[in-house]
Amino acid sequence: MCKIGVLVSGRGTNLQALLDAQNEGNLGGEVVLVVSNRSGAKGLERARAAGIKTEVLTRLHYPDKDEYDAKLIEVLIENNIDLVVLAGFMRILTERFILAFENKIINIHPSLLPAFKGVRAQWQAVDYGVKISGCTTHFVDRDIDAGPIIMQRAVPVASDDDGDSLAERILEHEHEILVESVRLFCENRLEIRGRKVIIKE
């Protein structure tokens, strides 16, 4: 069984989508650990309510970025994690971390990458005036929001949208493609060829 570690910083709605799929037997793996860089993150409450082990690693305890990631690696290895999922984890990971879990880190981003990288992507999309935005799952590499793309889902942008309304509509699609991407990984159906991710039958 594929053991999944989920990193969260906030509400944890994508984490909840993974837990719901797991409960329904549709995840293909098991979330065994949830780590947050914020002690008050609601995602931690969701994990505890589901009986899942949690860890809090804050900048207060590990102010040095390399030291933080070294501890994070240690915690994940101790729990035999096969796949790391970034579900709204608001920290930029070091190269050391990415190499420790190379091709085993999946991120969900609320835009159609490579458009609108970084934070507040939904607000960027509205400000730019695009007609279509959406969400992307991808493997994490050394560049921010730039790793090989696994799945994407398009979401129309309405003329009266603001960042909040667009974010809310995109979110339900984030849940769907994140669950599907994790399931495909756990079933060994994702193959990286250069920049492309091939979904095997």
The amino acid that residue 90 corresponds to is M
Q: Which two three-digit tokens encode residue 194?
A: 């250069």
- Tell me the DSSP string of the chain: -EEEEEEESS--HHHHHHHHHHHTT-SSEEEEEEEESSTT-HHHHHHHHTT-EEEE--TTT--SHHHHHHHHHHHHHHTT-SEEEESS--SPPPHHHHHHTTT-EEEEESS-TTSS-SS-HHHHHHHHT-SEEEEEEEE--SSTT-SPEEEEEEEE--TT--HHHHHHHHHHHHHHHHHHHHHHHHTT-EEEETTEEEE--
Return d(Cα 85, Cα 35) in angstroms, integer: 10
- Are residues 120 and 163 in contact, defined by beta-carbon separation less than 8 angstroms? yes
State the catalytic residues. 109
Residue corresponding to tokens 């909840």? 16
